[in-house]
Amino acid sequence: MMYNLIGGYMLKISHEWQDYECLDAGNGEKLEKWGNIILRRPDPQAMWETTFDHKWDNAIGTYHRSNKGGGYWDFKKDLPDSWQVHYKELTFKVTPTNFKHTGLFPEQAINWDFMMNKIKKADREIKVLNLFAYTGGATMACAKAGASVVQVDASKGMTLWAKENMQLCGLENASIRFIVDDCLKFVIREQRRGHKYDAIVMDPPSYGRGPNKEVWKFEKNIAVLLDECLKILSDKPLFLLINSYTTGVSNIVLGNMLKTKMLPLYPNGKIETGEVGLPITHNNLVLPCGIYGRWECND
């Protein structure tokens, strides 16, 4: 696990991938190697200049944004419907989607490491709630470490994808529940049921809709969700982790929320916030990929 302190901010870099590499980034794009397949995608964070040399021509697939919104992939040759990438003990399905994503955010590997290490050190049964779980990267990491996991996402398609990742990771016999639901409504129902969790991880979008058209806006709803989540934490919580890709929201905001809401209830812990990023092979720069804020119990 690598830590860099840059201008007072903690930067966590996911640098232990076996099957993923950010080859280059700049001019608003990034060039990535997923297994043996090279893809080229837009990235608004890559504002600096780079040279579009011959390696960029090696991309098998390039995502082009449309002036009308969204975009499309341009492939030089047929690709398999999906393929696999590995991170330590974990295996994931990836495939280019219509929304430019591949079903996996590789920068989150540094957070998977944190959660797995924390769960293994706990030496007790740990129950994890994964909200806005997407294709289940954090779910598989926590389950592989021995936790029981409830994962919630509003998308049936992403939940099916997560179940495929469960099989690829050899976790068919693990304690994992997959719930298709609005995350805030689910948390409130868990309160009524009296269910408690030792750890909560959430990756809320900037904007989204639940299965029944419930509207989610990060700036409006994140504080409400955090308040409700605190009501279902156990008496001995292990960690609470918030990831965000919302433009304009600082990691300091997440830190302030955790300090004012979490620490008064659980003072025997520490708070850390910062950015997550990916190393760029071409020039040893770092591609910023979002922010995080977490509370964790003192070891």
Domain with 23, as residue range(s), is 2-94
Domain boundary residue among 62, 94, 126? Answer: 94
User: Does residue 180 carry a pLDDT above 80?
Assistant: yes
Q: Assess if residue 99 is contained within a domain.
A: no
Residues 113 and 235 both lie in one domain: yes
User: What is the 3-state composition of the chain as percent helix, strand, coil, each rounded to the nearest 5?
Assistant: 25, 35, 40
Number of compact structural domains in the chain: 2
Q: Assess if residue 101 is contained within a domain.
A: no
Average pLDDT of the chain, as a whole number: 93
Residues 159 and 225 both lie in one domain: yes
CATH at 183: 3.40.50.150
Residues 280 and 136 both lie in one domain: yes
Q: Assess if residue 229 is contained within a domain.
A: yes
Domain boundary residue among 72, 94, 116? Answer: 94
Q: Assess if residue 45 is contained within a domain.
A: yes
What 3 state SS string does 248-272 have?
Answer: CCCHHHHHHHHHHHCCCCCCCEEEE
Residues 249 and 121 both lie in one domain: yes
pLDDT tens digit string along 82-98? 999 999 999 999 999 99
Domain boundary residue among 68, 94, 120? Answer: 94
Residues 75 and 137 both lie in one domain: no
Residues 238 and 168 both lie in one domain: yes
CA-to-CA distance for 20 and 34, rounded, in angstroms?
5
Q: What backbone torsions phi and psi does residue 217 show, to the nearest 5 degrees? A: -130, 125
Residues 267 and 191 both lie in one domain: yes
Give the model's confidence band at 4: pLDDT under 50 very low, under 70 low, under 90 confident, else very high. Answer: very low
**What is the per-residue pLDDT for 215?**
80
Q: Assess if residue 9 is contained within a domain.
A: yes
CA-to-CA distance for 248 and 181, rounded, in angstroms?
27
Residues 114 and 71 both lie in one domain: no
Residues 216 and 78 both lie in one domain: no
pLDDT tens digit string along 116-147? 999 999 989 999 999 999 999 999 999 999 99
Q: Assess if residue 264 is contained within a domain.
A: yes
Residues 83 and 152 both lie in one domain: no
**What is the per-residue pLDDT for 6?**
42
User: Does residue 218 carry a pLDDT above 80?
Assistant: yes
Q: Assess if residue 100 is contained within a domain.
A: no
Give the model's confidence band at 9: pLDDT under 50 very low, under 70 low, under 90 confident, else very high. Answer: low
DSSP state of 284: S
CATH at 35: 2.60.40.1180
User: Does residue 69 carry a pLDDT above 80?
Assistant: no
Residues 243 and 271 both lie in one domain: yes
Residues 255 and 192 both lie in one domain: yes
Q: Assess if residue 132 is contained within a domain.
A: yes
CA-to-CA distance for 199 and 242, rounded, in angstroms?
11
User: Does residue 279 carry a pLDDT above 50?
Assistant: yes
Give the DSSP H or E segment for 161.
helix 156-168
- Show the tokens assigned to 121: 């050190």
The pTM for the full model equals 0.93
